[in-house]
Amino acid sequence: MKLNQQGLEDQAQWEQAGFGLPQFDREAVTAATKENPFWIHFGAGNIFRAFQANVVQNLLNAGELDRGLIVAEGFDYEIVQKMNRPHDDYSILVTLKADGNVEKTVVGSVVESCILDSEDAVEYERLKEIFRKDSLQMVSFTITEKGYSLVNGKGELLPAVESDFLTGPRKPVSYIGKVASLLYTRYQAGEKPVAMVSMDNCSHNGDKLYAAVNTFAEKWTENGTAETGFLAYVNNKEKVTFPWSMIDKITPRPDASVEAILKADGVEELEPVITSKNTYVAPFVNAEECEYLVIEDAFPNGRPALEKGGLMFTERETVDKVEKMKVCTCLNPLHTALAIFGCLLGYKKISEEMKDAELKKLVETIGYTEGLPVVVNPGVLDPKEFIDTVLNVRVPNPFMPDTPQRIATDTSQKLAIRFGETIKAYQASPKLHVTDLKLIPLVFAGWLRYLMAVDDEGNTFDLSPDPLLETVRPYVEGFRLGEEADVETALKPVLADVKIFGVDLYKAGMAEKVCGYFKEMAAAKGAVRAVLTKYVG
């Protein structure tokens, strides 16, 4: 059983092994999609394959759509070269349900994969062709929050971006430069309307995409490398929109236990590929069953009825409320807390942490007691029910092979939103007091303790990737477990860093508490557990 067009011709074999298969004429859908594409997505990663691609497949199966998806990869071309194309753009979705059931689906809604490489004339021209099409309604992105940044961790323009500003839209090399160039192609084709939809898990994601693209439009029109009308086009909401969205579905990297299930079914060539850019991809993706995608309904070229596939379309204010509910209170802060302390306590699975009474109490208190009082109910989702599902179904799911090490990635980029917004809400409230927050500062202290790269048993471990590691690690590199140190002086610059915490912790009246927790956790082996017992239990 090979995952490609030829291997799927024997449908009975796959169905007997329990796989759900595409129920549409893929050849006809492919032809219609290539001729009149309606949706191209940038970012060929797990979330896209597990969520958006499966939604479109369900709608194709139901006869609600007659065209599929085109995916483009602009960061790691090997994903397309070594995974998408060898498998004829098919992938396997393994849904790991909390009740222990495993649902296996062959997803065939992606019918073309492209490489966002301006150095490859054939690849780039195909993307330009897609962007010239009248039919194109949506360009979406899951490229991570870092993908929209034009600067490095020190605030300096990235060299590729700086070069692209000067050379213009003909052959840019930076990711957003190439996206802006394709949008310029659409402008030149007759100022055709389109929605540019960030679906990344970050606050006000549409604004981040807009800011990056608009900066290119400004630079190019200023220096004459693009027509002056391009900037007006990017800023004309009747032509181009940058809707906000909120996405939520846990899709850990492909797990060996899931690979074993598929191998036992007879599926061949399942071996994951680790690319030269250290991306870990496989022909399958494993994911939880819960999923949410709420999108601002701003589509100047129209859109299909994707709400029939479970997506929620609403106004920007509601997206903002949902996003804040999830990112600032009801899920992401809880994940980050578990990631930090999971690394310190040697856990390899997030689900295992929920069997730890103190860690369970930690996230329950952060969610229900410290966070929930400042959540605005968005109406389309109930905050308490959302936390209930997170803590009782999603995070404890033993079949979800998610790790604290994965979630600890880029923590410096997450703290300001995941916790800083709650602190700001407390500061702004006439009834709430920042001094009432006991466990959010404990998470901050835990992160600083984590940066020592020594676990609670005194063993060293590898820190997860983070763009600010070189900036923040020096603040703790002089500390050793059990040794006296001037913690306040050493940590003062980072505790006052608004970009990291969302607030100046000194001005918020929280720095002293964070320093105190940190000193206790660095006092000896076993001190992290002792602090959790003391303040959480």
For the segment 425-476, what is each residue's pLDDT rounded down to a tens digit? 999 999 999 999 999 999 999 999 999 999 999 999 999 999 999 999 999 9
CA distance 297 to 319: 10
Does the pTM of the predicted model rise above 0.85? no
207-245 pLDDT tens trace: 999 999 999 999 999 999 999 999 999 999 999 999 999
Mean pLDDT of the chain: 96
Q: How confident is the model at residue 250 (pLDDT cuts 50, 70, 90)?
A: confident
Strand partners, 106: 92
Q: Is 438 exposed, middle or buried (0-12, 13-18, 19+ CB in 10 A)?
A: middle
313-322 pLDDT tens trace: 999 999 999 9
Most confident range, picked from 146-155, 397-406, 494-503: 494-503
334-368 pLDDT tens trace: 999 999 999 999 999 999 999 999 999 999 999 99
**Mean pLDDT on 131-158:** 95
Q: How confident is the model at residue 100 (pLDDT cuts 50, 70, 90)?
A: confident
**Mean pLDDT on 77-103:** 94
Position 253 pLDDT exceeds 90: no
**Per-residue pLDDT, 154:** 86
Position 537 pLDDT exceeds 90: no
CA 15 distance to own-chain centroid? 32
**Per-residue pLDDT, 370:** 97
**Per-residue pLDDT, 201:** 85
Reported residue count of the chain is 537
- Tell me the DSSP string of 129-147: HHHH-TT--EEEE-S-GGG
CA distance 184 to 492: 46
* Paired tokens of 489: 């002086």
* Paired tokens of 63: 């006869």
181-208 pLDDT tens trace: 999 999 999 999 999 999 998 889 999 9
Please say whether the dihedral angle defined by the alpha carbons of residues 52, 58, 60 and 65, taken in this order, is positive or negative: negative
**Per-residue pLDDT, 99:** 85
Contact 484, 511 (CB under 8 A): no
Contact 503, 431 (CB under 8 A): no
Q: What is the DSSP letter of 170?
A: S
**Per-residue pLDDT, 523:** 96
CA-to-CA dists, residue 533 to 356, 366, 497, 515, 537, angstroms: 11, 16, 29, 18, 5
* Paired tokens of 391: 């803590």
377-430 pLDDT tens trace: 999 999 999 999 999 999 998 887 789 999 999 999 999 999 999 999 999 999
